[in-house]
């Protein structure tokens, strides 16, 4: 039912943007055609109509505008079929991202000894700094995952990781924490490094904007799947959402074929990234195609995580991806050297998550899926801790 704030008259929605390009990436293509073809099946959705409608206090459980209903259906279809989409959000600007990236470049360029002061192994590195050479790619920890990857056509196989990821990370909590939780280690206080007076304001400002974009997509996806608008966002309330800038030192590890983040899926609900200054991110579509990501200016990439897979009984599968050094990365390194810019590859990433104490299980009609039994009820925090054991971030090797 609609609440009292729900408008009775139809909402006039401007036409939304939807772009879908369609040619697979193959080895041997010219550079320009490869870049164009790398965007195969990755759509762009303009969130402006949704944001404008949401600000008008409308009720999406009863969509009265066919254009808005259509875009919600597209969002759910795209996430289910590809596991990734590109969005434009008027609240997320390039200027905001530039300010954030500039600060993180300065942080990651600090000596390792300084960055290690912000590491919290007893909190499974879910707060503060995560050193490079620590997290093990899931594909390396789970042999079956790598075996399936080797069954893909050669041009769609990942680079096989040989050890822990080289990437550094910094985890910064976005949004309120639960007042009571069984999973305190996943919901701890912030760590602010010394010497960065604008740290908290910069992190929160950018993080909340990214989270707002994710929440919009989560609501639209829920409506598109025939669920209540807040089916997903209710689970996400007080979740351990993490703004997690990821740093790769291309000055020290800039050789072609270097793996910064080995073939893996994300543990969380939805992941959102702004474009990076250096290419190197590859994703796998649900049909097994390997796609080089080239995020258009002003857009953000959203990928499905394991928690979304769980509550949809596999209708949306967790998206697989890797970050590696390619020929295009090396070209970007040379350009950065000429311009005397930082050689740290920073990803502007936020992991949105289900609240740790919330129970994950297939929702609504997904509970009737023939695959529902593969996703039994589990507390999100318990699931998360088990996954952290696999990738060697839970120092105790067990759940709490």
Task: Tell me the pLDDT tens digit for each residue of 352-388.
Answer: 999 999 999 999 999 999 999 999 999 999 999 999 9
Bridging pattern class, strands 128-130 and 84-88: unpaired
Residue 116 lies in a domain: yes
Q: Which residue has the tokens 């996400």?
A: 236
**Helices and strands (H, E) in the chain, number of each type:** 12, 16
Residue 29 lies in a domain: no
Q: If phi over 0 gives left and psi between -120 and 50 gives alpha, with beta otherwise, what is residue 184?
A: alpha
Residue 218 lies in a domain: yes
pLDDT digits (tens, 9 = 90+) for 252-294: 999 999 999 999 999 999 999 998 999 999 999 988 999 999 8
Q: Specify burial of residue 314 (Cβ count, 10 A radius: 0-12, 13-18, 19+).
A: middle
As for how many domains the chain has, the answer is 1
d(CA 200, CA 191): 9
d(CA 203, CA 365): 38
Q: Report yes or no: 157 and 331 within 8 Å, Cβ to Cβ.
A: no
Question: How is residue 208 written in tokens?
Answer: 């909340």
At residue 67, the pLDDT reads 82
Q: Which residues of 352-369 are buried (b: 16+ CB within 10 A; e: fewer)?
A: bbbbbbbebebbeebeee
Q: Which residue has the tokens 């350009």?
A: 335
Question: How is residue 365 written in tokens?
Answer: 């009609």
Q: Which residue has the tokens 């967790």?
A: 318
**Positions in the chain whose pLDDT score sits under 70:** 1-41, 55-64, 395-400
Radius of gyration over alpha carbons of the chain, in Å? 20
d(CA 225, CA 369): 13
Question: How is residue 253 written in tokens?
Answer: 């590890």
Question: How is residue 111 written in tokens?
Answer: 């000596």
Question: Looking at residue 322, which CATH number applies to its domain?
Answer: 2.60.120.330
Structural domain boundaries enclosing 311: 42-391
At residue 52, the pLDDT reads 85
d(CA 15, CA 68): 9
pTM metric for this prediction = 0.87
Residues 6+ apart with CB under 8 A from 335: none
At residue 39, the pLDDT reads 53
Residues 6+ apart with CB under 8 A from 88: 17, 44, 45, 46, 47, 48, 298, 299, 300
């Amino acid at each position: 039912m609609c609440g009292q704030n729900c408008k009775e008259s139809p909402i006039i929605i401007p036409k939304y943007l939807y772009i879908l390009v369609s040619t697979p990436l193959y080895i041997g293509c010219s550079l320009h055609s490869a870049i164009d073809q790398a965007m195969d099946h990755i759509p762009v959705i303009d969130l402006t109509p949704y944001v404008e409608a949401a600000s008008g206090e409308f009720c999406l459980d009863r969509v009265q505008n066919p254009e808005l209903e259509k875009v919600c259906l597209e969002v759910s279809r795209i996430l289910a079929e590809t596991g990734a989409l590109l969005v434009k959000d008027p609240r997320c600007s390039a200027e905001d991202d530039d300010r954030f990236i500039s600060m993180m470049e300065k942080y990651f360029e600090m000596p390792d000894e300084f960055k290690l002061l912000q590491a919290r192994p007893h909190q499974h590195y879910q707060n503060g700094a995560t050193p490079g050479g620590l997290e093990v790619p899931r594909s390396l920890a789970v042999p079956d995952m790598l075996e399936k990857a080797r069954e893909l056509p050669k041009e769609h196989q990942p680079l096989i990781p040989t050890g822990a990821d080289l990437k550094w990370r910094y985890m910064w909590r976005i949004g309120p924490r639960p007042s009571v939780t069984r999973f305190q280690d996943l919901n701890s206080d912030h760590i602010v490094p010394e010497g960065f007076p604008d740290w908290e304001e910069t992190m929160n400002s950018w993080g909340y904007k990214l989270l707002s974009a994710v929440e919009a997509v989560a609501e639209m996806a829920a409506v598109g799947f025939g669920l209540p608008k807040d089916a997903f966002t209710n689970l996400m309330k007080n979740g351990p959402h993490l703004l997690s800038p990821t740093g790769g030192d291309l000055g020290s590890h800039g050789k072609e074929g270097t793996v910064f983040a080995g073939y893996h899926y994300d543990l969380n609900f939805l992941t959102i990234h702004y474009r990076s200054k250096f290419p190197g991110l590859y994703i796998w579509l649900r049909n097994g195609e390997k796609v080089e990501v080239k995020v258009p200016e002003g857009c953000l990439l959203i990928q499905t995580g394991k928690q979304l897979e769980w509550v949809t009984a596999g209708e949306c599968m967790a998206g697989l991806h890797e970050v590696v050094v390619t020929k295009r990365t090396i070209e970007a390194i040379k350009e950065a050297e000429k311009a005397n810019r930082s050689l740290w590859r920073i990803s502007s990433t936020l992991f949105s998550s289900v609240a740790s104490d919330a129970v994950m299980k297939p929702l609504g009609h997904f509970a009737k899926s023939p695959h529902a039994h593969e996703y039994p009820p589990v507390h999100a925090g318990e699931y998360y801790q088990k996954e952290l054991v696999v990738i060697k971030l839970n120092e105790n090797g067990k759940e709490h």
